[in-house]
A = this chain, B = another copy of it.
């Protein structure tokens, strides 16, 4: 068999184009051209443009979950679990930047059934984080708070790294992961002197409906 199959070549070309131009702006012709074939030939490997998008998103979500489970395996202490989960999330998103970007921005291109399949996987992934946060809160390791909102906050914070990260930039994947780790653990534990007092609601005037 060949080093890489045409199916994988198309996949990679699609990931690249969906990332750079967006799912709707990238055409089947372009993807085929980037793969070195004509557009009609592409339909031998994927039955539709949407099927190609779904194949990418499904595999990304499955790999993401597998990576998280591998990162958490054997770790019991709750702060260590949170650190490992954050580190794993950041690693995966920075190393597979394009796919993760697509997985977070192109869900609208999916059919209803495929959309549900991807969202169910995403929900299961988020639940792992919510469980760690809830356990830590009940153990008194983390400050009181809303598990769901905090999980969204943590996940999007790390995910966002993928949108500005440059592989040969100033900071390495692990350095960035460590910055996020410390920020998040501190945010969850709550620094001294945080009262939660509500300050004045400034200038709603500048905000329209």
Mark A residues whose CB is within 8 Å of B.
20-22, 24-25, 63, 66-67, 70-71, 80, 83-84, 87-88, 91-92, 95-96, 105, 108-109, 143, 145-146, 149-150, 152-153, 156-157, 160-161, 163-164, 171, 174, 176, 178-180, 182-194, 196, 198-199, 201-209
- Contacts A96-B208, A179-B145, A186-B190 known; A105 to B105 CB distance under 8 Å? yes
Whether A153 contacts B157 in the complex (CB less than 8 A), given A25-B24, A88-B202, comes out as: yes
The answer to whether B207 and A67 have CB atoms under 8 Å apart is yes
Instruction: Flag if B153 contacts A202 (CB, 8 Å).
Output: no
Residues of B within 8 A of A199 (CB): 80, 83-84, 87
Give min CB distance, A47 to chain B, whole Å.
20
CB of A120 to closest CB in B, whole Å: 16
- Contact yes or no, B202 A71, CB < 8 A: yes
Contacting pair A198 B178 (CB below 8 A) = yes
